[in-house]
Amino acid sequence: MFPGGLDDRGGRSYATVVLHYPELGSDRVLVGRPRTAPIPCDACGELIDPLRSRVLASTRGLHVLCGDACVEQLIRAEQSRPAAPPEVVSVPDRVREATRPTATHVREDLGAQSDLSDEPVNVPWIGIALATTATVFGAVPGPLWLHTVSALLGVAAACYAMHASWRMTRAGVIAWALGPLGLMFATGAALGIRSSDPERWMVLAGTGIAALAVVLRAWLDARGRLPVAEQLVKLIRSIPSSVRVPVRQPDTEAHGERYEEVPAHRVRVGEEVIVLEGERVAVDGVVKKGSSQILPLPGSRAPVRREPGDSVIAGAEVRSGALRLLTNRVGNDRALVRAVRFGSGAEVSSAKIAWLAMQLTRWGLVGVGVVCAFALARGEGVLSALLVAATVLLAAPVLSVRRAAEGPLLAAGGAAAERGIVFRDAGVLEEAGKARAAAVCTRGTITEGALDVVDVKPVGDSDVHTILALAAAAEVAAESHPIGLAIRRYAESRGIQPESVRRATFVPGRGITALAPSGASLVIGNRQLLLEEGVSVAVADSIAANAEQRGHTVLFVGVGGRVRAIIALQDNVRLGARAALQRLFDLGVEAVLISGDHRGAVEALARNLDVDNIRAELRPEERGPEIRRMRDSGSSVAAIGHPLVDDAALSAADIPICLGAAGSQTGERAIALVNHDVRDAAAALWIAHAARAEAYRSVLVSAGAGGLLVGVAAFGWIGPGVAALCALGIDSLATHAGARLLRRIELRIPARA
């Protein structure tokens, strides 16, 4: 450091520049003095050269000043400046700062759960080349070495087919190896025929064709399962592999809650998880704290709001704020992952068609063994008998039967999950495909569930203002019931203050009873409640009937043993209800409207929707027995409604379809929907019917045609090449059953964003 002034060193001049810091005092630094354009002093405004200035002051930036007086002036100005407002840190940002990440997370692998894979399926050119060369060499009458090469190429093609289809071993090792083993036996038998026998080259050519068919059968199997696998993999990969959980520690209160990112498979049911803005949910659960706009499904574009008590499934994306969830389902029990199990494991026994296919596969193998033994016993020679037995093995489409059953189940489960429809298991999917009647609870399902008062008709000389004040006060007992909310909202819009009533009692499905301030009895409800309370409705029945003919819900208001007014409420038909019912009609499913409203109002609603059957004036507890009477006719009955509100009806049905219950612990029964759209309930039944029909048709055709083919091969009426080609045709039908169903679903029920 040098004192202030000039200093000559080495022929150059330097200036001492003083840097003033309010916190640390002044320091002097030696710098060079190139010439620059003059600029005004930041305190007094006098023009000075910034590099020849005596003072550079650093407060909230670097300032060029004339001297110490300007420094003092600048410091006073800076101190008088108001402080900047503190930076606002959002809740998600605070949670991220308090989160301790883990090292790595392992993404779930679909291949570990089933024999499905979304890997590209390439044309097996090597196997085709081997089989084609074997056919050409075998078809040429020639020396033994040429035919030996043909046989070895055929065996190599069989080995290649086994290697390319190793995932099929999950469906059964014997079923997987049956065709290649038959090809090897046929090739060995053909090679053993005497060289002078003209049949050798014909049989070897046939085994070459069989080798080509075996290679193509493995390729077709992989190709047929690829569309279903791609859909399931896409769903699984939309779910994050890690989850944020709160960490329990002694100093939580002193330092705030801490969080940790852990692999999703480590989370257990009942634990809490935190999901922040811009993140996806990794588990199925119920919102415990917080509210947010979310995209409920992967691929959704319309956000919906979730509040405490609402359910959320894995794969949903939080668009704003943060949610604290209570975990309900993890691992393979999650809604989007559940369909992977529909073709294997314990799910096989739950679906009758899958169980039937498994039995046909098991006993089919036994039958093939018996037929082979029969062929060996009745053969005229060892080689001839071995060739017939090998032909039987090549003709047996054992694996095709299994694929014909599981393909539609997997495709239906995955396509439904993509649309927000969750089947509990494969058995429910098949059972729903047998439904011939659907009981639809109207309130909040066919209608919007948010009623509005459209008219208040006084009876006699009653004062409407007084009647509404009493009704609004009494309806507080109904809490959040749509009718009570509508009456209170109507009174509030007209500036009517509720009266003070006593002993208000809510009668589910009927109405409200209470005592007016004068001590007179107050009854607000339907006809049956007023009659039970000893109030005649005859004087107002014609007024009520006119309103009910227009589809309005009617409430009678009785005060002091007399009807004083009629309140008419309107519940609009939900958007898409007509389309949902039309889909049921097209399926041949009988739709029945179940309601607690008066018969006249329900009949008006049914006429508007072209529904012939209704069950009206039923209290919630009376709907279960009514559905059980529908089941007594022998048909399978589905019920569509909301959990808790329509519990009696849902519990009595063969196939309960719960709106907005996917991901919840108690509401998710046979079929649960992510949203409250009745069109998705009808789509669930359509998908189930289509899957059941496709599965049964494919299984019966595969088993029937395969059994016939095995019988023909057992009598030696066809050779190995023809048998393998016929089995290839059966495989092409069975292994593509799932892909065909996916195409039908995409055409008939496109996914709504």
Using CA atoms, how far apart are residues 687 and 680, in angstroms rounded to an integer?
10
Instruction: Give the pLDDT of residue 476.
Output: 79
Looking at residue 447, what DSSP letter applies? B
* Start and end residues for every CATH 3.40.50.1000 domain found in the chain: 435-440+577-674
CATH of region 240-334: 2.70.150.10
Using CA atoms, how far apart are residues 450 and 333, in angstroms rounded to an integer?
34
**CA dist list (Å): 748 to 230, 426, 428, 698, 743:** 20, 22, 21, 20, 9
Dig out the tokens for 170 from the structure: 């999950």
Closest-CA residue to 230 (of 351, 411, 19, 1):
411
Encode burial over 306-337: b for 16+ CB neighbours within 10 A, e otherwise.
beeebbbbbbbbbeebbbebbbbbbeeebbbb
Instruction: Give the pLDDT of residue 411.
Output: 94
Using CA atoms, how far apart are residues 453 and 472, in angstroms rounded to an integer?
12
**CA dist list (Å): 647 to 509, 623, 642, 655, 672:** 14, 9, 7, 13, 13
Question: Domain 435-440+577-674 has what CATH class?
Answer: alpha beta
Q: Following DSSP, what letter does each residue of 239-286 receive, concatenated?
A: S-SEEEEEEP-TTHHHH--EEEEEEGGG--TT-EEEEETT-B--SEEE
Looking at residue 552, what DSSP letter applies? -
Instruction: Give the pLDDT of residue 744.
Output: 94
Q: Is 684 helix (H, G, I), strand (E, B) or coil?
A: helix
Instruction: Give the pLDDT of residue 587.
Output: 93
The answer to whether residues 696 and 412 touch, using CB atoms and an 8 Å cutoff, is no
Q: Is 362 helix (H, G, I), strand (E, B) or coil?
A: helix
Q: Is 139 helix (H, G, I), strand (E, B) or coil?
A: helix
The answer to whether residues 156 and 130 touch, using CB atoms and an 8 Å cutoff, is yes
Q: Following DSSP, what letter does each residue of 184-217 receive, concatenated?
A: HHHHHHHHHS-TT-THHHHHHHHHHHHHHHHHHH
Instruction: Give the pLDDT of residue 27.
Output: 42
Between 720-734 and 173-192, two packed helices, what is the crossing angle to 10 degrees?
A: 160
Considering the domain delimited by 452-570, tell me its CATH architecture.
3-Layer(aba) Sandwich (3.40)
Tokens 């849902």 map to which residue?
A: 650
How do residues 100-135 score in pLDDT, each as one tens digit? 666 444 455 444 445 566 677 788 888 889 888 888
In sequence order, what are the beta bridge partners of 523? 513, 558
Instruction: Give the pLDDT of residue 584.
Output: 95
Instruction: Give the pLDDT of residue 102.
Output: 60
In sequence order, what are the beta bridge partners of 258? 247
- What lies within 8 Å, CB to CB, of 207 at 6+ separation is 134, 138, 151, 154, 183, 186, 187, 190, 720, 721
Instruction: Give the pLDDT of residue 36.
Output: 60
* Start and end residues for every CATH 2.70.150.10 domain found in the chain: 240-334
**CA dist list (Å): 508 to 512, 513, 598, 617, 618:** 9, 11, 15, 12, 11
Dig out the tokens for 254 from the structure: 């002193």
Instruction: Give the pLDDT of residue 250.
Output: 52
Q: Is 117 helix (H, G, I), strand (E, B) or coil?
A: coil
* Start and end residues for every CATH 3.40.1110.10 domain found in the chain: 452-570
Dig out the tokens for 431 from the structure: 């059972």
Using CA atoms, how far apart are residues 676 and 673, in angstroms rounded to an integer?
7
For the chain, list residues with pLDDT below 70: 1-37, 42, 49-64, 78-118, 167-172, 194-201, 248-256, 343-349, 379-380, 667, 752-753
Using CA atoms, how far apart are residues 332 and 344, in angstroms rounded to an integer?
13
Dig out the tokens for 193 from the structure: 């025929």
pTM, 2 dp: 0.81
- What lies within 8 Å, CB to CB, of 321 at 6+ separation is 91, 92, 277, 290, 291, 292, 293
Closest-CA residue to 679 (of 661, 652, 657):
657
Instruction: Give the pLDDT of residue 571.
Output: 87
